[in-house]
Amino acid sequence: MRKCRIIPTCLFLGTMLGPWHLLSPQPEGGGDPLVLRLVIPEPSFCATQVEVPAVLYLVNAGSEDAEVTTDGFRDAMTYVAMYDSVKGSSRSKVFSDQRGSFLEGRTINYKTLHRDQFLQDTSPLLLPKSLFDRPGFYRAQIEYSGLVRTGHSKEARRVVLVSNWVILETYSCEPDN
């Protein structure tokens, strides 16, 4: 049976609770900031696992309503191998994946987000085996690309938001002796 360990990710999860508008500073002059947050409910998992449950939040932390496109989640994903638990040494290997051109061939659907409201995407993270090939520590980050209309403006502008980094730990799937 694997022993539970407290890892730094647990500390970061605590910051995800509470008022959304405190997660990101307000720009000067008000503005309409959108915040992208990635949460991994169980950041420690077996090294042979091919996907990990994840929750991605697109939050309206601004003072005005924002209309956002709903299909821009996970336009790009970046993973970084940081530490090899077997060898006890650092790693510096990066894997990036992009879905393609901005809104190419997509139906554009808008959703209105009032202050502190959010869109949620609960699709799992698909882990690239070329990177997640051994027990260790990794980082993951997600990107959202979409169109946004704020206030009384009918004109949409393109936004690209990058989530927070999350720490992932993979462990050997063999039972402890």
| 163 token code pair | 């989530």
- Cα distances (angstroms) measured from residue 164 to each of 11, 46, 86, 105, 155: 14, 23, 27, 28, 28
For residue 175, the surrounding DSSP H or E stretch is: none
CA–CA distance, 38 with 18 (Å, rounded to integer): 15
Quick check: 115 pLDDT over 60? yes
pLDDT digits (tens, 9 = 90+) for 54-87: 999 999 999 889 999 887 777 788 999 999 999 9
pLDDT level of residue 176 (50, 70, 90 thresholds): low
Q: Convert the pLDDT of each residue in 31-53 to its tens digit.
A: 458 999 999 999 999 998 999 99
pLDDT value at residue 60: 94
pLDDT at 21 > cutoff 60? no
CA distances from 106 to 28, 72, 74, 101, 109 (A): 34, 10, 14, 10, 9
Give every CB contact of residue 115 below 8 A, 6+ residues apart in sequence: 21, 60, 61, 62, 63, 64, 65
Q: Over 80: is that where the pLDDT of 177 sits? A: no
| Strand bridging mode 166-171 / 44-46 | parallel
Return mean pLDDT, the chain. 79
* Domain topology for 32-171: Immunoglobulin-like (2.60.40)
Q: Is the pLDDT of residue 110 over 50?
A: yes
In the block, tokens 């910051």 appear at 15
